[in-house]
Amino acid sequence: MESLIRKIILATDFSESSEEASYHAVLLAQTFNAELQALHVFTPRPIGTNYASVQKEKQAKEDFVLTRERGEKMLNKLANSFHITANTIFAEGHAGPEIIRIAAEQNADLLVVGTHGYTGWNRLALGSVSEYIVRHSPCAVLTIKPTEHELYKTG
């Protein structure tokens, strides 16, 4: 019998919630002998035009490049920590739509994402990438809720 899960995409933002989702994604990949891809979507912050000097704008662009490079390194480090073969996908854009686009493009069978456990005002103000993914995904989605100790951390 052919497995229903052949390709798993783990969408990560490197948070503790994503770390917990990573554990589940690796376990599922091992169980189903599925291909695992770790995906991070880098959301660039716009570089404002109201800088007082060209030097500040130059520094902002350098910071952008360094932040992007750091994200790529973190993604590779995460994938190497799985102790199974995992490919990486580093994309830029708005997380929700990019994750959906890539899942469709890659013909994923399962998306694994962590949730941050926001409720009330925080959820309304910050939005929910995981909720967007659940509503628009072209494949099954496994959301991993943070453990209780993560929900009550501050700062």
67 pLDDT band, cuts 50/70/90, is confident
Question: 11 forms bridges with which residues in the sheet?
Answer: 39, 113
List the one residue out of 22, 1, 14, 15 whose CA is nearest residue 142.
22
pLDDT tens-digit readout, 23-47: 999 999 999 999 999 999 998 766 5
Q: Is the pLDDT of residue 49 over 80?
A: no
Average pLDDT over residues 35-63: 75
In the chain, pLDDT over 70 holds for what percent of residues?
A: 80
Check residue 16 and give its pLDDT: 85
With beta carbons less than 8 A apart as the criterion, state whether 34 and 8 touch. Answer: yes
Instruction: Classify 124 as helix, strand or coil.
Output: helix
Region for 33 from its dihedrals, namely left if φ exceeds 0, alpha if ψ lies in -120 to 50, beta otherwise: left
Give the span between the Cα atoms of 9 and 140, in whole angstroms.
11
Query: Among 17-31, 39-53, 74-88, 123-137, whose mean pLDDT is lowest?
Result: 39-53
> Which CATH class, in words, describes the domain spanning 7-151?
alpha beta
Average pLDDT over residues 97-117: 94
105 pLDDT band, cuts 50/70/90, is very high
